[in-house]
Structure 1
Amino acid sequence: MEMLACFISHRVSQGSWNPIAVSRNGPRLFHLMFADDLLLFCKISKAQVIEVMHCLDLFSRELGLKVNLHKSKAQCSKKVSERRKEVFSGVFNIRFCNDLGKYLEINIGHAKASRRTTQEVIEKISRKLSSWQRCPLNKVGRLYLVKSVMAFISVYDMQIFLLPKYACNKIDFLMRQFLWKGQAIGKGLPLVTWEVAITPRRAGGLGIRDTSCANMAFLEKLVWNYLNNSKKLWEQVLKHKYLRNQSDMNKNSRNSSSATWKNIVNAYEHLKEGFR
Protein backbone atom coordinates (compact mmCIF):
# COMPACT_ATOMS: atom_id res chain seq x y z
CA MET A 1 0.00 0.00 0.00
CA GLU A 2 2.93 2.32 0.66
CA MET A 3 4.23 1.57 -2.83
CA LEU A 4 0.81 2.37 -4.28
CA ALA A 5 0.70 5.66 -2.34
CA CYS A 6 4.12 6.67 -3.72
CA PHE A 7 3.07 5.73 -7.23
CA ILE A 8 -0.13 7.79 -7.02
CA SER A 9 1.80 10.76 -5.61
CA HIS A 10 4.22 10.47 -8.51
CA ARG A 11 1.36 10.54 -11.05
CA VAL A 12 -0.09 13.60 -9.32
CA SER A 13 3.26 15.42 -9.43
CA GLN A 14 3.50 14.63 -13.14
CA GLY A 15 0.09 16.19 -13.73
CA SER A 16 -1.50 12.98 -14.99
CA TRP A 17 -3.79 12.59 -11.96
CA ASN A 18 -5.86 15.67 -11.07
CA PRO A 19 -6.80 15.64 -7.35
CA ILE A 20 -9.67 17.53 -5.76
CA ALA A 21 -9.90 20.27 -3.12
CA VAL A 22 -12.89 21.14 -0.94
CA SER A 23 -11.81 24.80 -0.70
CA ARG A 24 -9.99 27.24 -2.97
CA ASN A 25 -6.63 27.25 -1.14
CA GLY A 26 -7.05 24.03 0.79
CA PRO A 27 -4.97 20.86 0.53
CA ARG A 28 -5.53 18.65 -2.49
CA LEU A 29 -6.89 15.17 -1.92
CA PHE A 30 -5.99 12.22 -4.10
CA HIS A 31 -5.90 9.24 -1.76
CA LEU A 32 -6.57 8.22 1.85
CA MET A 33 -5.45 4.88 3.24
CA PHE A 34 -5.89 2.90 6.41
CA ALA A 35 -4.76 -0.75 6.52
CA ASP A 36 -6.28 -2.39 3.42
CA ASP A 37 -8.99 0.24 2.90
CA LEU A 38 -8.46 2.82 0.18
CA LEU A 39 -10.25 6.01 -0.88
CA LEU A 40 -9.27 7.59 -4.21
CA PHE A 41 -10.17 11.14 -5.31
CA CYS A 42 -10.04 12.62 -8.81
CA LYS A 43 -11.78 15.12 -11.06
CA ILE A 44 -15.00 13.84 -12.61
CA SER A 45 -13.97 13.21 -16.21
CA LYS A 46 -13.58 10.13 -18.37
CA ALA A 47 -9.85 10.74 -18.83
CA GLN A 48 -9.32 10.89 -15.07
CA VAL A 49 -11.33 7.72 -14.45
CA ILE A 50 -9.20 5.93 -17.04
CA GLU A 51 -6.06 7.26 -15.32
CA VAL A 52 -7.20 5.88 -11.95
CA MET A 53 -7.97 2.47 -13.40
CA HIS A 54 -4.64 2.48 -15.25
CA CYS A 55 -2.77 3.08 -11.99
CA LEU A 56 -4.63 0.28 -10.24
CA ASP A 57 -3.99 -2.04 -13.17
CA LEU A 58 -0.22 -1.35 -13.09
CA PHE A 59 -0.21 -1.88 -9.34
CA SER A 60 -2.01 -5.23 -9.74
CA ARG A 61 0.38 -6.46 -12.42
CA GLU A 62 3.47 -5.52 -10.40
CA LEU A 63 2.45 -7.05 -7.07
CA GLY A 64 -0.20 -9.58 -8.02
CA LEU A 65 -2.83 -7.95 -5.75
CA LYS A 66 -6.03 -7.70 -7.72
CA VAL A 67 -8.64 -5.05 -6.85
CA ASN A 68 -12.07 -6.52 -6.16
CA LEU A 69 -14.32 -4.23 -8.20
CA HIS A 70 -17.48 -5.99 -7.01
CA LYS A 71 -16.77 -4.87 -3.43
CA SER A 72 -15.80 -1.36 -4.50
CA LYS A 73 -18.09 1.67 -4.60
CA ALA A 74 -18.03 5.02 -6.37
CA GLN A 75 -19.56 8.32 -5.34
CA CYS A 76 -19.59 11.70 -7.05
CA SER A 77 -21.12 15.14 -6.74
CA LYS A 78 -24.89 15.44 -6.65
CA LYS A 79 -24.73 17.63 -9.75
CA VAL A 80 -23.45 14.76 -11.93
CA SER A 81 -26.24 13.38 -14.11
CA GLU A 82 -27.24 9.73 -14.23
CA ARG A 83 -26.20 9.55 -17.88
CA ARG A 84 -22.63 10.55 -17.03
CA LYS A 85 -22.58 8.01 -14.24
CA GLU A 86 -23.51 5.29 -16.73
CA VAL A 87 -20.60 6.33 -18.95
CA PHE A 88 -18.17 6.12 -16.05
CA SER A 89 -19.59 2.80 -14.89
CA GLY A 90 -18.81 1.37 -18.30
CA VAL A 91 -15.18 2.43 -17.88
CA PHE A 92 -14.39 0.99 -14.45
CA ASN A 93 -17.27 -1.44 -13.75
CA ILE A 94 -17.77 -0.06 -10.25
CA ARG A 95 -21.30 0.65 -9.09
CA PHE A 96 -22.29 4.17 -8.06
CA CYS A 97 -24.00 4.72 -4.73
CA ASN A 98 -25.35 7.59 -2.65
CA ASP A 99 -23.71 6.34 0.54
CA LEU A 100 -20.29 4.71 0.89
CA GLY A 101 -21.45 2.97 4.04
CA LYS A 102 -19.72 2.69 7.40
CA TYR A 103 -16.11 2.54 8.44
CA LEU A 104 -15.21 1.72 12.05
CA GLU A 105 -18.98 1.74 12.67
CA ILE A 106 -19.20 5.39 11.54
CA ASN A 107 -21.04 6.58 8.44
CA ILE A 108 -18.43 8.01 6.06
CA GLY A 109 -20.87 10.76 5.12
CA HIS A 110 -20.55 12.16 8.67
CA ALA A 111 -24.15 13.22 8.83
CA LYS A 112 -25.43 14.68 12.06
CA ALA A 113 -26.45 12.40 14.89
CA SER A 114 -30.01 11.62 13.80
CA ARG A 115 -32.49 9.56 15.80
CA ARG A 116 -31.60 6.55 13.65
CA THR A 117 -27.89 6.94 14.41
CA THR A 118 -28.40 7.27 18.13
CA GLN A 119 -30.85 4.39 18.15
CA GLU A 120 -28.21 2.14 16.57
CA VAL A 121 -25.79 3.03 19.36
CA ILE A 122 -28.39 2.27 22.03
CA GLU A 123 -29.28 -1.03 20.37
CA LYS A 124 -25.62 -2.13 20.31
CA ILE A 125 -25.39 -1.53 24.05
CA SER A 126 -28.71 -3.30 24.65
CA ARG A 127 -27.58 -6.36 22.69
CA LYS A 128 -24.39 -6.53 24.70
CA LEU A 129 -26.38 -6.25 27.93
CA SER A 130 -28.72 -9.06 26.82
CA SER A 131 -25.78 -11.39 26.19
CA TRP A 132 -24.54 -10.82 29.75
CA GLN A 133 -27.83 -11.41 31.52
CA ARG A 134 -27.32 -15.19 31.48
CA CYS A 135 -23.94 -14.87 33.24
CA PRO A 136 -23.89 -15.11 37.06
CA LEU A 137 -21.98 -11.92 37.87
CA ASN A 138 -21.67 -10.09 41.16
CA LYS A 139 -21.69 -6.29 41.38
CA VAL A 140 -17.91 -6.07 41.13
CA GLY A 141 -17.93 -8.03 37.86
CA ARG A 142 -20.79 -5.94 36.49
CA LEU A 143 -18.97 -2.74 37.45
CA TYR A 144 -15.90 -3.92 35.53
CA LEU A 145 -17.98 -4.67 32.41
CA VAL A 146 -19.74 -1.30 32.62
CA LYS A 147 -16.46 0.61 32.87
CA SER A 148 -14.42 -1.41 30.36
CA VAL A 149 -17.00 -2.44 27.75
CA MET A 150 -20.38 -0.67 27.89
CA ALA A 151 -18.91 2.80 28.29
CA PHE A 152 -16.67 2.26 25.24
CA ILE A 153 -19.19 0.87 22.74
CA SER A 154 -20.17 4.37 21.61
CA VAL A 155 -16.60 5.77 21.51
CA TYR A 156 -16.33 6.00 17.71
CA ASP A 157 -19.67 7.79 17.47
CA MET A 158 -18.82 10.24 20.25
CA GLN A 159 -15.62 11.32 18.47
CA ILE A 160 -17.68 12.66 15.55
CA PHE A 161 -21.26 13.22 16.73
CA LEU A 162 -22.65 15.31 19.53
CA LEU A 163 -25.21 12.84 20.82
CA PRO A 164 -28.58 14.24 21.90
CA LYS A 165 -29.25 14.52 25.60
CA TYR A 166 -31.91 11.81 25.55
CA ALA A 167 -29.43 9.36 23.97
CA CYS A 168 -26.80 10.06 26.64
CA ASN A 169 -29.42 9.63 29.36
CA LYS A 170 -30.55 6.32 27.83
CA ILE A 171 -26.98 4.98 27.70
CA ASP A 172 -26.43 5.99 31.34
CA PHE A 173 -29.74 4.33 32.25
CA LEU A 174 -28.70 1.03 30.64
CA MET A 175 -25.35 1.08 32.45
CA ARG A 176 -27.08 1.91 35.74
CA GLN A 177 -29.65 -0.87 35.31
CA PHE A 178 -27.03 -3.49 34.51
CA LEU A 179 -24.78 -2.42 37.37
CA TRP A 180 -27.42 -2.73 40.09
CA LYS A 181 -29.92 -5.20 38.59
CA GLY A 182 -27.88 -7.24 36.10
CA GLN A 183 -30.46 -6.60 33.38
CA ALA A 184 -32.38 -3.83 31.63
CA ILE A 185 -35.48 -4.41 33.77
CA GLY A 186 -36.06 -5.99 37.14
CA LYS A 187 -35.49 -5.32 40.79
CA GLY A 188 -32.26 -4.15 42.32
CA LEU A 189 -31.13 -1.84 45.08
CA PRO A 190 -28.71 0.96 44.09
CA LEU A 191 -26.00 1.07 46.75
CA VAL A 192 -24.94 4.63 45.83
CA THR A 193 -26.43 7.45 43.78
CA TRP A 194 -25.51 7.80 40.11
CA GLU A 195 -23.68 11.04 40.90
CA VAL A 196 -21.37 9.05 43.18
CA ALA A 197 -21.04 6.28 40.58
CA ILE A 198 -19.72 8.70 37.91
CA THR A 199 -17.35 10.42 40.34
CA PRO A 200 -13.66 9.43 39.86
CA ARG A 201 -12.34 6.81 42.25
CA ARG A 202 -9.74 9.18 43.69
CA ALA A 203 -12.64 11.38 44.81
CA GLY A 204 -14.55 8.51 46.43
CA GLY A 205 -16.73 7.42 43.48
CA LEU A 206 -16.90 4.29 41.32
CA GLY A 207 -15.20 5.86 38.30
CA ILE A 208 -17.91 5.17 35.71
CA ARG A 209 -17.67 7.57 32.79
CA ASP A 210 -20.56 9.98 32.33
CA THR A 211 -21.68 9.66 28.68
CA SER A 212 -22.52 13.30 28.07
CA CYS A 213 -19.24 14.55 29.56
CA ALA A 214 -17.23 11.94 27.66
CA ASN A 215 -18.93 12.92 24.41
CA MET A 216 -18.04 16.58 24.89
CA ALA A 217 -14.49 15.68 25.96
CA PHE A 218 -13.88 13.74 22.73
CA LEU A 219 -15.00 16.72 20.64
CA GLU A 220 -12.97 19.11 22.80
CA LYS A 221 -9.94 16.95 22.07
CA LEU A 222 -10.41 17.78 18.37
CA VAL A 223 -10.50 21.47 19.29
CA TRP A 224 -7.35 21.15 21.38
CA ASN A 225 -5.48 19.38 18.56
CA TYR A 226 -6.63 22.06 16.15
CA LEU A 227 -5.51 24.95 18.37
CA ASN A 228 -2.10 23.35 18.86
CA ASN A 229 -1.52 23.22 15.09
CA SER A 230 -0.59 19.57 14.78
CA LYS A 231 -0.72 19.95 10.96
CA LYS A 232 -2.97 16.94 10.43
CA LEU A 233 -4.80 16.66 7.14
CA TRP A 234 -8.30 17.01 8.61
CA GLU A 235 -7.26 20.18 10.41
CA GLN A 236 -5.89 21.73 7.24
CA VAL A 237 -9.05 20.85 5.30
CA LEU A 238 -11.35 22.41 7.93
CA LYS A 239 -9.10 25.44 8.42
CA HIS A 240 -9.11 26.41 4.74
CA LYS A 241 -12.79 25.59 4.26
CA TYR A 242 -14.30 27.36 7.28
CA LEU A 243 -11.83 29.67 9.01
CA ARG A 244 -10.13 31.19 5.94
CA ASN A 245 -7.14 32.56 7.91
CA GLN A 246 -9.35 33.73 10.79
CA SER A 247 -8.76 32.54 14.35
CA ASP A 248 -12.18 32.84 16.03
CA MET A 249 -13.96 29.53 15.51
CA ASN A 250 -17.37 30.53 16.86
CA LYS A 251 -17.80 33.24 14.21
CA ASN A 252 -17.38 30.81 11.33
CA SER A 253 -20.26 28.40 11.83
CA ARG A 254 -22.86 28.79 9.10
CA ASN A 255 -26.03 26.88 8.38
CA SER A 256 -24.29 25.31 5.38
CA SER A 257 -21.38 24.05 7.51
CA SER A 258 -20.92 20.33 7.96
CA ALA A 259 -22.31 18.66 11.07
CA THR A 260 -18.78 17.73 12.16
CA TRP A 261 -17.62 21.35 12.07
CA LYS A 262 -20.70 22.51 13.99
CA ASN A 263 -19.96 19.93 16.68
CA ILE A 264 -16.36 21.15 16.94
CA VAL A 265 -17.54 24.77 17.26
CA ASN A 266 -20.00 23.71 19.96
CA ALA A 267 -17.16 22.00 21.86
CA TYR A 268 -15.01 25.11 21.43
CA GLU A 269 -17.67 27.17 23.23
CA HIS A 270 -17.46 24.82 26.22
CA LEU A 271 -13.67 24.61 26.21
CA LYS A 272 -12.77 28.29 25.83
CA GLU A 273 -14.14 29.11 29.28
CA GLY A 274 -11.08 27.36 30.71
CA PHE A 275 -8.50 28.99 28.43
CA ARG A 276 -5.61 30.72 30.17
Structure 2
Amino acid sequence: MEKMDKGASARGPLSPLLFDMVMEALSRMLDVAASTGQFTGFSVIVNLRAILARFEEVSGLRINLGKSELVPIGGVPNLEALVGLLGCGQSSLPLKYLGLPLGAKFKDLSVWNPILERMERRLAGWKRMYLSKGGKVTLIKSSLSSLPTYFLSLFPLPSKVAKRMEKLQRDFLWNGIGVDPKYI
Protein backbone atom coordinates (compact mmCIF):
# COMPACT_ATOMS: atom_id res chain seq x y z
CA MET A 1 0.00 0.00 0.00
CA GLU A 2 1.33 3.39 -0.86
CA LYS A 3 0.26 6.67 0.62
CA MET A 4 -0.92 8.97 -2.15
CA ASP A 5 0.23 12.10 -0.32
CA LYS A 6 3.84 11.64 0.70
CA GLY A 7 3.87 14.63 3.06
CA ALA A 8 5.97 14.85 6.19
CA SER A 9 2.91 14.43 8.42
CA ALA A 10 2.59 10.81 7.28
CA ARG A 11 5.83 9.95 9.09
CA GLY A 12 4.83 11.17 12.53
CA PRO A 13 4.67 9.06 15.69
CA LEU A 14 1.00 8.21 15.04
CA SER A 15 1.73 6.57 11.67
CA PRO A 16 1.99 3.00 12.97
CA LEU A 17 -1.23 3.38 14.95
CA LEU A 18 -3.05 4.88 11.96
CA PHE A 19 -1.77 2.10 9.72
CA ASP A 20 -3.05 -0.51 12.18
CA MET A 21 -6.46 1.17 12.31
CA VAL A 22 -6.73 1.30 8.51
CA MET A 23 -5.64 -2.32 8.18
CA GLU A 24 -8.20 -3.31 10.79
CA ALA A 25 -10.88 -1.65 8.66
CA LEU A 26 -9.71 -3.59 5.58
CA SER A 27 -9.69 -6.80 7.59
CA ARG A 28 -13.27 -6.21 8.71
CA MET A 29 -14.36 -5.46 5.13
CA LEU A 30 -12.86 -8.79 4.06
CA ASP A 31 -14.45 -10.64 7.01
CA VAL A 32 -17.90 -9.31 6.08
CA ALA A 33 -17.40 -10.36 2.46
CA ALA A 34 -16.32 -13.85 3.53
CA SER A 35 -19.19 -14.30 6.01
CA THR A 36 -21.77 -13.20 3.43
CA GLY A 37 -20.51 -15.69 0.85
CA GLN A 38 -18.94 -13.21 -1.53
CA PHE A 39 -15.70 -15.21 -1.74
CA THR A 40 -16.74 -18.31 -3.66
CA GLY A 41 -15.51 -19.42 -7.06
CA PHE A 42 -14.16 -16.83 -9.46
CA SER A 43 -16.48 -14.16 -8.07
CA VAL A 44 -13.93 -13.81 -5.31
CA ILE A 45 -11.70 -11.75 -7.63
CA VAL A 46 -14.46 -9.40 -8.73
CA ASN A 47 -15.62 -8.93 -5.15
CA LEU A 48 -12.06 -8.55 -3.86
CA ARG A 49 -11.33 -5.88 -6.48
CA ALA A 50 -14.53 -4.05 -5.43
CA ILE A 51 -13.54 -4.19 -1.76
CA LEU A 52 -10.04 -2.93 -2.54
CA ALA A 53 -11.45 -0.08 -4.66
CA ARG A 54 -13.80 0.89 -1.81
CA PHE A 55 -10.89 0.66 0.65
CA GLU A 56 -8.84 3.00 -1.56
CA GLU A 57 -11.70 5.52 -1.61
CA VAL A 58 -12.22 5.42 2.14
CA SER A 59 -8.59 5.33 3.28
CA GLY A 60 -6.86 7.44 0.65
CA LEU A 61 -4.30 4.65 0.18
CA ARG A 62 -3.52 3.15 -3.21
CA ILE A 63 -3.02 -0.58 -3.53
CA ASN A 64 -0.29 -1.43 -6.02
CA LEU A 65 -1.25 -4.87 -7.31
CA GLY A 66 1.90 -4.87 -9.46
CA LYS A 67 3.91 -5.14 -6.24
CA SER A 68 1.49 -7.59 -4.62
CA GLU A 69 1.74 -11.35 -4.67
CA LEU A 70 -0.78 -14.13 -4.31
CA VAL A 71 0.58 -16.83 -2.00
CA PRO A 72 -1.40 -20.07 -2.10
CA ILE A 73 -1.64 -22.20 1.00
CA GLY A 74 -2.37 -25.78 0.07
CA GLY A 75 -3.73 -26.70 -3.34
CA VAL A 76 -5.40 -23.83 -5.19
CA PRO A 77 -7.09 -24.78 -8.46
CA ASN A 78 -6.70 -22.37 -11.41
CA LEU A 79 -4.04 -20.36 -9.58
CA GLU A 80 -2.58 -18.87 -12.77
CA ALA A 81 -6.02 -17.66 -13.86
CA LEU A 82 -6.59 -16.05 -10.45
CA VAL A 83 -3.21 -14.30 -10.63
CA GLY A 84 -4.03 -13.02 -14.12
CA LEU A 85 -7.47 -11.76 -13.11
CA LEU A 86 -6.16 -9.99 -10.04
CA GLY A 87 -3.16 -8.53 -11.86
CA CYS A 88 -0.59 -9.44 -9.24
CA GLY A 89 2.41 -11.75 -8.99
CA GLN A 90 2.58 -15.25 -7.60
CA SER A 91 4.83 -16.57 -4.87
CA SER A 92 5.04 -19.55 -2.55
CA LEU A 93 6.06 -20.29 1.00
CA PRO A 94 8.58 -19.87 2.49
CA LEU A 95 9.07 -16.21 1.60
CA LYS A 96 10.38 -13.06 3.23
CA TYR A 97 7.83 -10.52 4.42
CA LEU A 98 9.02 -7.41 6.25
CA GLY A 99 12.34 -9.17 6.77
CA LEU A 100 10.83 -12.25 8.40
CA PRO A 101 10.89 -15.66 6.72
CA LEU A 102 7.22 -16.66 6.62
CA GLY A 103 6.44 -20.32 6.19
CA ALA A 104 9.85 -21.37 7.49
CA LYS A 105 10.07 -24.11 10.07
CA PHE A 106 10.31 -22.34 13.40
CA LYS A 107 12.87 -24.82 14.76
CA ASP A 108 15.16 -24.45 11.73
CA LEU A 109 18.45 -22.93 12.87
CA SER A 110 19.14 -21.41 9.43
CA VAL A 111 16.28 -18.93 10.04
CA TRP A 112 18.64 -17.18 12.44
CA ASN A 113 21.59 -16.93 10.01
CA PRO A 114 20.76 -13.34 8.92
CA ILE A 115 20.77 -12.21 12.55
CA LEU A 116 24.04 -13.97 13.32
CA GLU A 117 25.63 -12.56 10.14
CA ARG A 118 24.47 -9.03 11.00
CA MET A 119 25.90 -9.45 14.48
CA GLU A 120 29.24 -10.62 13.07
CA ARG A 121 29.36 -7.67 10.61
CA ARG A 122 28.73 -5.16 13.37
CA LEU A 123 31.33 -6.73 15.60
CA ALA A 124 33.86 -6.76 12.75
CA GLY A 125 33.32 -3.02 12.27
CA TRP A 126 33.69 -2.32 15.97
CA LYS A 127 36.88 -4.39 16.14
CA ARG A 128 38.71 -1.59 14.32
CA MET A 129 37.80 0.92 17.00
CA TYR A 130 39.82 1.34 20.15
CA LEU A 131 37.23 0.69 22.84
CA SER A 132 37.44 0.24 26.57
CA LYS A 133 35.66 -2.70 28.19
CA GLY A 134 32.90 -0.30 29.24
CA GLY A 135 32.53 0.94 25.66
CA LYS A 136 32.31 -2.63 24.40
CA VAL A 137 29.70 -3.54 27.01
CA THR A 138 27.66 -0.47 26.07
CA LEU A 139 27.75 -1.36 22.36
CA ILE A 140 26.83 -4.96 23.07
CA LYS A 141 23.90 -4.02 25.32
CA SER A 142 22.56 -1.15 23.23
CA SER A 143 23.02 -2.53 19.74
CA LEU A 144 23.55 -6.28 19.64
CA SER A 145 20.92 -7.22 22.19
CA SER A 146 18.20 -5.57 20.07
CA LEU A 147 19.05 -7.41 16.83
CA PRO A 148 17.06 -10.60 17.52
CA THR A 149 14.04 -8.80 19.00
CA TYR A 150 12.09 -8.58 15.72
CA PHE A 151 12.68 -12.26 14.92
CA LEU A 152 11.62 -13.20 18.44
CA SER A 153 8.14 -11.87 17.66
CA LEU A 154 7.69 -14.89 15.38
CA PHE A 155 10.31 -17.51 16.24
CA PRO A 156 11.49 -18.98 19.55
CA LEU A 157 15.24 -18.65 20.08
CA PRO A 158 16.91 -22.07 19.86
CA SER A 159 19.50 -22.68 22.56
CA LYS A 160 22.25 -23.30 19.96
CA VAL A 161 21.61 -19.87 18.45
CA ALA A 162 21.52 -18.22 21.88
CA LYS A 163 24.85 -19.83 22.74
CA ARG A 164 26.36 -18.68 19.43
CA MET A 165 25.17 -15.09 20.08
CA GLU A 166 26.61 -15.18 23.58
CA LYS A 167 29.93 -16.53 22.28
CA LEU A 168 30.19 -13.77 19.64
CA GLN A 169 29.56 -11.13 22.30
CA ARG A 170 31.88 -12.73 24.84
CA ASP A 171 34.70 -13.11 22.31
CA PHE A 172 34.35 -9.48 21.26
CA LEU A 173 34.29 -8.26 24.84
CA TRP A 174 37.32 -10.19 26.02
CA ASN A 175 39.37 -10.76 22.87
CA GLY A 176 38.09 -8.73 19.98
CA ILE A 177 37.37 -10.63 16.79
CA GLY A 178 40.06 -12.50 14.92
CA VAL A 179 42.78 -11.75 17.45
CA ASP A 180 44.51 -13.88 20.02
CA PRO A 181 43.13 -13.73 23.57
CA LYS A 182 44.41 -10.86 25.67
CA TYR A 183 45.23 -11.75 29.22
CA ILE A 184 45.01 -9.05 31.82
Q: Same fold (TM over 0.5)?
A: yes
1:101 is aligned, of 64, 73, 95, to: 95
- 2:168 — aligned with what? 174
Q: Secondary structure of the residue that 1:107 maps to in structure 2?
A: strand
Alignment of 1:84-233 (within 5 A): 84-99=78-93, 101-182=95-176, 184-189=177-182
> Are residues 175 and 104 of structure 1, via their aligned partners in 2, closer, same or farther at CA, if it must alter by over 3 Å?
farther
Deviation at 1:113? 3.2
TM-score (norm: length of structure 1): 0.51
Which segments of structure 1 move beyond 6 Å, counting only runs of 4 or more? Answer: none
- Conserved 8 A contact 1:18-1:48: no
Deviation at 1:57? 1.4
Q: Secondary structure of the residue that 2:62 maps to in structure 1?
A: coil
The question of 1:58 aligning with 2:54 is answered: yes
Report how many aligned residue pairs link the two structures: 163
% identical equivalent positions: 22
| Per-residue deviation, residues 69-106 of structure 1 (Å, max 9, x unmatched) | 1221111232113xx11111121111121037334532
CA–CA separation in structure 2 for the residues paired with 1:124 and 1:157: 13
CA–CA separation in structure 2 for the residues paired with 1:11 and 1:156: 28
- Conserved 8 A contact 2:22-2:59: no
- Conserved 8 A contact 1:73-1:95: yes
Deviation at 1:8? 5.5
- Conserved 8 A contact 1:104-1:156: no
Q: Which 5+ residue runs of structure 1 have no aligned equivalent?
A: 20-41, 192-276
RMSD: 2.8
Deviation at 1:4? 6.4
Q: Secondary structure of the residue that 1:88 maps to in structure 2?
A: helix
- 2:4 — aligned with what? none
TM-score (norm: length of structure 2): 0.73
- Conserved 8 A contact 2:67-2:89: no
